[in-house]
């Protein structure tokens, strides 16, 4: 039997609509751009600007948390307007305009301002984009659609890291620490795929009107969302509190003596595994249930973070980062699909905004706490590099226990 003879059910990728592919391509290009720069940003702060880990945690946390407050507002507004596409396009545009200014940043407050502006763009685009994907696909293939999106996003990250590795090898081969000229070269190169991403979404996606049966009555509040979704948010919040910025994984690799080029290869191993797993995991969640996959992923994460607490050799870092990619592939797209499962169709923009806001807002205390546990502040010297990872492992187990309970709660709305 040829591909042409098969039904759409036998070829699920072929049945995915145009919007899913357009959003996936946009995320691919955006991550090519972002991962060229933001994976080495912690090294730029530490190696070039001499910033302590507590301040690096502050930069990452403030950028994610403050901008994340926009996610719930943009999601709610997209529900009210019944529009998704152009809010997403504008968010990608803001991030693209902000990125070149990193090449001019000479102090950590300047880096914070640019990082914040980039995250404002993400805050504007994320919830409407996810709601656009959810509105463009039927329930039976929702996990596959979000899994494909995460796979495209992460494949872009892998390409971006390869470009960064190539630049680093060419400009400072064998160097343990990142240099300022190398960082600025990466920033300038990153502008091209960022601009292309905006064009792809603007031209390639089509607007999908939100279900307006309840949009006229929507309020910017948790009160109208299902109790099951609110308990799910609590579990996600507890997990996120122990999930500090991935910048600390990069710093952990360098703390055992790995050079910049090897650190980039470690991050590449994470993204390759993440990209390969995301699509199949999303499709699998359509069959076996999203709660089951998410619970397994969180338990797996707890063991991975325990490993990072005790790592002392380069091969261990490579293995653990690949395992970390497996965790991400199992959970990121699945969690986003799960949000659409537990809220009414007309409230998905709001729900995605709330979800991303909870995750982003808690990034500030999570990253600050990680920096303090690692290096301390003032006269207190902290507990060392293992401490943030031990704490993250503990919080993952606590959150998993709550998620097991949430799984058993009834659905209290009629799905669209």
**Could you read off the pLDDT of 119-133 as tens digits, one per residue?**
889 888 988 888 888
Q: What is the pLDDT of residues 103-155, one digit of tens each?
A: 998 888 899 899 889 988 988 898 888 888 888 888 778 888 888 888 888 88
- pTM value is 0.71
Q: How many residues does this entry show for the chain?
A: 416
For domain 18-208+219-407, the CATH class is mainly alpha
Cβ atoms of 200 and 57 closer than 8 Å: no
What ranges do the domains of the chain cover?
18-208+219-407
More confident residue, 397 or 116: 397
- Lowest-confidence segment of 191-200, 212-221, 389-398 by average pLDDT: 212-221
Secondary structure in 3-state letters for 128-148: HHHHHHHHHCCHHHHHHHHHH
Would residue 212 be called left, alpha or beta, if left means φ above 0 and alpha means ψ between -120 and 50 degrees?
alpha
More confident residue, 348 or 392: 392
Q: What SS3 class is residue 377?
A: strand
Cβ atoms of 40 and 251 closer than 8 Å: no
In 3-52, which ranges are continuous DSSP H helix?
18-38, 41-43
């Amino acid at each position: 039997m040829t591909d042409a003879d098969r039904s759409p059910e036998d070829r699920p990728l072929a049945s995915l609509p145009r919007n899913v592919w357009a959003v996936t391509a946009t995320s691919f290009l955006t991550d090519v751009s972002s991962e060229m720069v933001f994976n080495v940003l912690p090294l730029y702060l530490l190696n070039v600007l001499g910033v302590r880990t507590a301040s690096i945690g502050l930069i990452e946390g403030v950028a994610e948390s403050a901008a994340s407050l926009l996610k719930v507002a943009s999601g709610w507004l997209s529900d009210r307007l019944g529009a998704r596409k152009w809010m997403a396009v504008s968010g990608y545009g803001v991030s693209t305009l902000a990125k070149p200014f990193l090449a001019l940043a000479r102090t950590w407050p300047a880096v914070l301002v640019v990082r914040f502006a980039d995250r404002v763009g993400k805050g504007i685009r994320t919830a409407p984009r996810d709601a656009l994907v959810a509105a463009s696909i039927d329930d039976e293939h929702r996990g596959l659609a979000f899994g494909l999106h995460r796979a495209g996003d992460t494949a872009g990250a892998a390409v971006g890291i390869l470009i960064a590795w190539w630049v680093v090898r060419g400009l400072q081969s064998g160097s343990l620490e990142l240099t300022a000229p190398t960082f600025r070269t990466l920033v300038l190169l990153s502008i091209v795929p960022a601009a292309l991403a905006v064009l792809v979404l603007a031209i390639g996606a089509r607007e999908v009107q939100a279900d307006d049966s309840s949009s006229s009555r929507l309020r910017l509040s948790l009160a109208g969302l299902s109790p099951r979704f609110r308990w799910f948010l609590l579990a996600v919040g507890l997990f996120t509190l122990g999930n500090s910025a991935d910048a600390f994984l990069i710093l952990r690799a360098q703390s055992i003596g790995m050079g910049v080029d090897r650190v980039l290869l470690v991050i590449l191993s994470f993204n390759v595994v993440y990209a390969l797993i995301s699509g199949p995991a999303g499709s699998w969640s359509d069959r076996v249930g999203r709660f089951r996959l998410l619970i397994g992923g969180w338990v797996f994460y707890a063991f991975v973070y325990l490993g990072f607490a005790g790592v002392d050799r380069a091969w261990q870092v490579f293995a653990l980062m690949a395992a970390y990619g497996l965790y991400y592939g199992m959970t990121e797209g699945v969690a986003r699909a799960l949000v659409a499962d537990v809220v009414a169709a007309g409230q998905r923009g709001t729900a995605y905004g709330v979800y991303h806001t909870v995750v982003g807002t808690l990034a500030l205390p999570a990253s600050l706490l990680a920096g303090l546990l690692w290096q301390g502040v003032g006269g207190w010297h902290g507990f060392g590099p293992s401490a943030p990872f031990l704490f993250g492992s503990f919080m993952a187990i606590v959150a998993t226990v709550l998620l097991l309970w949430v799984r058993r709660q009834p659905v209290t709305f009629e799905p669209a």
